Amino acid sequence: MRSILLFVGIIVGLAVLPLVITQVYILNLIILICLYTILSQSWNILGGYTGQISLGHSTFFGISALAFRYLWTLGISPYLALIGGSIASLLLASAIGFPAFKLRGHYFAIGTLALSMIAIITIQNLLPGVCFAPPQFLSKYSLIPVYYMALTVGVIAIGLIYFLTHSKLGLALVSIREDEDAAEAIGINAFKYKVISMSLSTLIAGLGGGLFSFYVASYYYYVPFELGWSFDPVIIAFIGGAGTVAGPILGSVVFVLLKEIFAINLGQMNVLIFGVIFIFVVLFLPRGLIGILDMVRGIKKSHSPSANKA
C-alpha cells in the first residue's frame, strides 16, 4: 500500500511540474524516461515475465510510429492516432510475430532479431526520405502536450504490469518462464499464453512508438526501426530488474541520466560503456538494481530491534 501511495504522489508531482518549472531540458529528460519506461515495460512482459527474449521490439515500435504519423497528418487527434498505431503493432505481430513462437530459447531471440533487421532494411529501401510533423503542429510546437501524453502512457504501462503481477495470467506467464514443459504438464497452454503475452507487449510497444512520433518533429522513416529500440529495453530491464514492476522504471531513470552524461562527455564511447555495464549486471547482479534494494532491506530488517528480540 505504501508503494502505491508513493507512486501516486510521484505522478501527481510530475503532473503539476510543468506549471512550476519552465526548463525545457528537464521536461525533455522526463519525456525520455517515460518513453524508455514504456518500451522496457513492454519488453518486460514478454522477456521478464514470460521468459521469451525478444530482440524484435524495434519492428513494432517503428510500425506504430509510421501509423501514428500517417493518421496524425490526416487530421486525426494524437490520442486516437496513438491507439491506431498501437493496433498496427498488434496486427503486425499477428501476421509475422506469433509464428516465431514455434521457436524456443535462443532460436526465438535470433528469429526476432532477424525480423528487426528485415524491417529496417525494407523501410530504408521503401521510404528513404524524412517524415515531418503536420505544419499546423510545427507552427505552435510545444512540449506540454507531448509531456502529458508521455506521462499518461507511462502510467498505463506501469499499471498494466502491476495488475499483471497480481493476476492468474501473470502467474501462468511466470510458470512458462520457469519451466515451459512443466507448465504444459500441469495444463497451461504455453502457446496461448505466449500469444497473450506478445499481444500485450506489442500493444504497449506501439504506444511507445506513437509517443516517439509525436515527440520528434521530424526524422528519417527508418529511425524508429533502428536496432537500438530492440536492444535498449533489454539493457534497461536487466539493469533495473527484469520480471519486476519497478525494475524497468528504475532502469530507465539510470539509463537516461547516464546516457545523457556519457553522451556529453564521451560521445560514441557511451555505447561501449553501456555494453560493459550490461555484461557486469548479467554476471554479478542477475536481479538488477532491484536486487540490491531488496538486499539492503533484508539487512535492515535483520538488524532491526524486533528481529533481534525474535
Helix, coil or strand: residue 99: helix
The full DSSP string for 219-238 is EETTGGGSTHHHHHHHHHHH
Write down the pLDDT at residue 165. Answer: 87
C-alpha cell at 165: 503481477
Indicate the number of domains in the chain.
1
CB 175 within 8 A of CB 182: yes
Query: CATH number of the domain that 83 lies in?
Result: 1.10.3470
Q: CB of 227 within 8 A of CB of 220?
A: no
CB of 108 closer than 8 Å to CB of 225:
no
pLDDT value, residue 98? 72
pLDDT per position as a tens digit, 250-270: 999 999 998 888 776 666 666
pTM over 0.95: no
Asked if residue 64 has pLDDT above 90, the reply is yes
**pLDDT tens for each residue of 115-138:** 899 999 999 999 988 998 888 888
Instruction: Point out the least confidently predicted range of 34-38, 50-54, 228-232, 303-307.
Output: 303-307
Q: What pLDDT does 86 receive?
A: 96
What tens digit of pLDDT does each residue of 199-213 get? 999 999 999 999 999
Residue owning grid cell 506513437: 210
* Cα–Cα nearest to 230, from 99, 97, 125, 126: 97
- The H or E element containing residue 183 is helix 180-185
CB 41 within 8 A of CB 204: yes
Expressed as residue numbers, the domain containing 47 is 2-309
